Amino acid sequence: MITIKIDGRSVEAKEGTTVLENARALKIDIPTLCYHKDLSPFGACRLCTVEVKANGKWGLAASCQTVVSEGMEIRTDSEAVRESRRQAAALLYYRYPRTEAVREAARRCGVPVAEAETDGKDCILCGLCVRTCREVVGVSALRFIDRGLGRDVEEPRIEFLPDACIGCGSCAFVCPTGYVGMESLDGKRVIWNKVFKMAACNVCGRYFAPVEQLERISAMTGVPVSALMTCVSCR
Ligand code: SF4
Ligand code: FES
C-alpha cells in the first residue's frame, strides 16, 4: 500500500490503482462517459479530469488513466478542474447536442443545455463497445478504423466485422447513447444490421441467446451445444 492525498485527506491506496478508483472509493463524485470499471481506460471524454501534483507542480490529468504513486497529491474539485470538465462537456455538447448522455454530462459540468426538439443517439466515440467486445467477449468484432490525427470526428469511425460477431449484445448494453441498436423479434436478433437466429430454451421455450453465441461457448468449453440449450431461469 502507498499513501496519497486526495483533497487534502491522506489515504492508503493500492499500488497500480487509478486516481478515479481511489476517489470513488472515498465517494467523491467524478463525472465519466468513456470509463467502465471492467475495461481498460481510454481517455476519450476528459470529463474525469483532476489536478495532480508532480515535481512540485500542479497539472491536469484524466483520473481514469492516472495511476497513483507514493505521496501523490490530487485535487478533484478545484477551479481549474471544474473549468476543464466544463470545457470538455461543452465540446461534447457542441458536437452531440441531442444525445441525452451528453446533455446529462453537460448539465453536471455546468454547461447551459437548451431544450432538445428531438432525441439523438449519436456515437460519441467513447470506445466502450470496442473495448467490451475485445476485452470481455473476446471476439473483436468492432474496431476503430482510425483514431489517429486527421480522423473525421463528425462521423463514427467504428468498423463492424460481421464474421466475428456472435450477436451477444454486450456492445448495445454498454453503449451510453443508444447508438448501438438491438432488436429481437420472432426468434431473430438484429444488431449492427446482422440477423442472428435465436435459440429457444428447451424447458420454457423462450428465445434466450443467439445460436452463434452458444456455438462459440461450446467451442471454448468443449460442452456440446445441445447441453447449452437451457436459459438461465430454467437451469
Ligand atoms: S457506438 Fe456507443 S459505445 Fe460504441 S463508441 Fe459509439 S457511443 Fe461509445
Ligand atoms: S472517463 Fe476518463 S477520459 Fe473519459
Euclidean distance between CA atoms 52 and 6, whole angstroms? 9
**How many A from CA of 101 to the centre of ligand 1?**
11
Task: Provide the pLDDT for residue 145.
Answer: 84
Which of 39, 7, 37 has its CA nearest to residue 20? Answer: 37
Calculate the average pLDDT of the chain. 93
Q: Which three cell numbers stand for residue 201?
A: 430454451
Using CA atoms, how far apart are residues 194 and 30, in angstroms rounded to an integer? Answer: 37
In the reported structure, the alpha carbon of residue 103 is separated from the centroid of ligand 1 by a whole-number distance in angstroms of 16
Q: Is residue 32 predicted with pLDDT exceeding 70?
A: yes
What cell numbers appear for 223 in the block?
460442452
- Candidate from 18, 40, 46, 130 with most ligand 2 atoms within 8 A of CB, to mutate: 46
Distance (Å) from CA 227 to ligand 1 centroid? 34
Q: Is the CB of 109 under 6 A from ligand 1?
A: no
pLDDT digits (tens, 9 = 90+) for 184-213: 988 999 999 999 999 999 999 999 999 999
What's 12-70 look like in SS3?
Answer: EECCCCEHHHHHHHCCCCCCCCCCCCCCCCCCCCCCCEEEEEECCEEEEEECCCCECCC
pLDDT score recorded for residue 148: 58
Q: Say whether domain 2-108 belongs to CATH 3.10.20.740.
A: yes
How much is the pLDDT for 162? 95
* pLDDT at res. 115: 87
The residue behind cell 462517459 is 33
Q: Is the pLDDT of residue 55 over 90?
A: no
Whether ligand 2 lies within 6 angstroms of the CB of 126 is answered as no
Which of 43, 49, 38 lies closest to 147 in space, CA to CA? 43
pLDDT band at 83 (very low <50, low <70, confident <90, very high): very high
The reported pLDDT for the residue numbered 6 is 97
pLDDT above 70 coverage of the chain, percent: 95
CA–CA distance, 191 with 194 (Å, rounded to integer): 5
C-beta of 48 in contact with ligand 2 (< 6 A) = yes
Which of 47, 121, 124, 130 has most ligand 1 atoms within 8 Å of its beta carbon, as the pocket-test mutant?
124
What is the tens place of the pLDDT at every residue in 146-159? 655 555 555 668 99
The domain spans of the chain are: 2-108, 128-234
Query: Which tens digit of pLDDT belongs to each residue from 129-179?
Result: 999 999 999 999 999 886 555 555 556 689 999 999 999 999 999 999 999
Query: What pTM does this model have?
Result: 0.90
